[in-house]
Structure 1
Amino acid sequence: MTQLLVLHNSLNPSASASRAMTEAYLTRVRAANPEARVIERDLAADPLPHLPPEIIPSLFGQPAQPGLEAEAAALSDALITELEQSDVIVLGAPFYNFTIPSTLKSWLDYVIRGGRTFRYTETGPEGLLPPGKRVLVFTASGGVYSAGPAAAMDHLVPYLKVVLGLIGLTDIEVVRAEGMKLPDAAATRAAAIARAAALAA
């Protein structure tokens, strides 16, 4: 049975283009594969805490001690298990201040762990997640950052490709709803939602 892990991050649930893309994709998935298991985390409505200092020993492979250290390590383990067991990871990642929302960064901090999701070797870092996973990134921005003079300001897509690649997630597809503050925003949004839904085919 296919399992999807979906992470919502937009602060604007009623008008978010990234959420609209995610919902269009999930609607198509559920229609085509009713048995698919979908795990959804709304990190904007229920954000993860920032990594506490107590988790440091666990990040270096040491046994977690009782108390806050054990709680933080257990949360990290649970989030990593969700990731390990999912076939498709869907990231609703709106473009905030030229990069990902802090809510998504917190999730990444919990799941990127040396010795658990990646390791260093003599030839460089190696991802430890099971192979074959697919990542879909649905992002929206007020301006256009995929090309042109503002492309250098895009610290969202390049960052996600690097950090996800570190843990072995390299099959990444990005759908952008760009120019949401420009005159043709409605048409651009509709086209992006249609592209997102088509990925479920």
Structure 2
Amino acid sequence: MKEDENIEALFESLAGSFDGESPREGHRDRFLSRLQEEATGRTKRRDNPWWRNLSIAATIALLLASSVFLFRSEPSLESQVAEISPQASETTRHFAGLVSLQIRELEQMSTPETKPLIDDTLTQLELLDTDYKKLERDLIQGGDSKLILSAMITNFQTRIDLLREVMERVEEVKQFKNENYENTTI
């Protein structure tokens, strides 16, 4: 009750200083329509256009910045090896060409009798290729370059030797098959 008296005293003391203007025409109708919109959930959203434009620009900038970091291409192992040792890169291309040529020849020689041997050889070549890639990474990381380069060359020589040996075996199988057909009488 004492608070009510204090409030009434305050209003009495400020009685002449209040704004005496009346609201604009249609104030009550506008107020009631906004109140109705609030009650039904159909309020007009008033977005600040500069804030929306700023958020769109920030989103685009964020996407561009992230794409630079995500899609930044690192140099391939081969190009990094070429930087360290151009001769090793040239030797690698030479050996890789020989190996791929021999693989194509071996695949052309495939028959049902030699298919398991050829498939096993291709599996062994994949393992050797995996080892070679490890050697490339070691070379890039700064290992003993002479030792690693020697191991890389040995890896290619092993691949070539394996392919030659398998090609000889495939030829032997073909010859054996031809000899059996020639000796067979009907």
Superposition TM-score tier, normalisation by shorter sequence: under 0.3
TM (norm. structure 2) is: 0.21
**Larger Cα-atom Rg:** 2
Higher helix share: 2
